[in-house]
């Protein structure tokens, strides 16, 4: 998936624009991030994905602003920085 490497580009995607408090479905965020809904479920289980709101036991939503902030934290300035900050860690995404 390598979301880290694509974070800057994903932040410029038109879906990134809009109110911070707008709630997006798992499917919408998966489309935006270019990943599967299952991948987002894995990230939720590991507490490594974007913050989410549990509306009910089966309904999960993501605030657009929280997803943007999560991407900003994952954005790398260079490949060297990516290797340096992730040395010895498994890359998620």
- Residue 75 CA to residue 90 CA, distance in Å, equals 16
- Residue 8 CA to residue 72 CA, distance in Å, equals 7
Each residue's pLDDT tens digit, 36-65: 999 999 999 999 999 999 999 999 999 999
Residue 30, pLDDT above cutoff 70: yes
Is the Cβ–Cβ distance between 8 and 69 less than 8 Å? no
Each residue's pLDDT tens digit, 60-88: 999 999 999 999 998 865 455 555 555 55
Pick the closest to residue 52 from 75, 24, 28, 12 (CA basis).
Answer: 24
In this prediction the pTM is 0.78
Cβ neighbours around 52 below 10 Å, total: 19
> Which pLDDT does position 50 carry in this prediction?
97
CATH architecture classification, 3-86: Orthogonal Bundle (1.10)
């Amino acid at each position: 998936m390598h979301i880290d490497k694509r974070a800057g580009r994903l932040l410029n995607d038109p879906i990134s624009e809009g109110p911070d408090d707008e709630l997006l479905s798992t499917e919408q965020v998966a489309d935006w991030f270019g990943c599967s809904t299952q991948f987002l479920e894995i990230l939720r289980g590991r507490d490594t994905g974007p913050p989410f709101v549990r509306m009910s036991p089966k309904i999960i939503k993501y605030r657009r602003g929280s997803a943007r902030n999560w991407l900003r934290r994952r954005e790398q300035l260079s490949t060297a920085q990516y290797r340096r900050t992730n040395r010895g860690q498994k890359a998620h995404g």
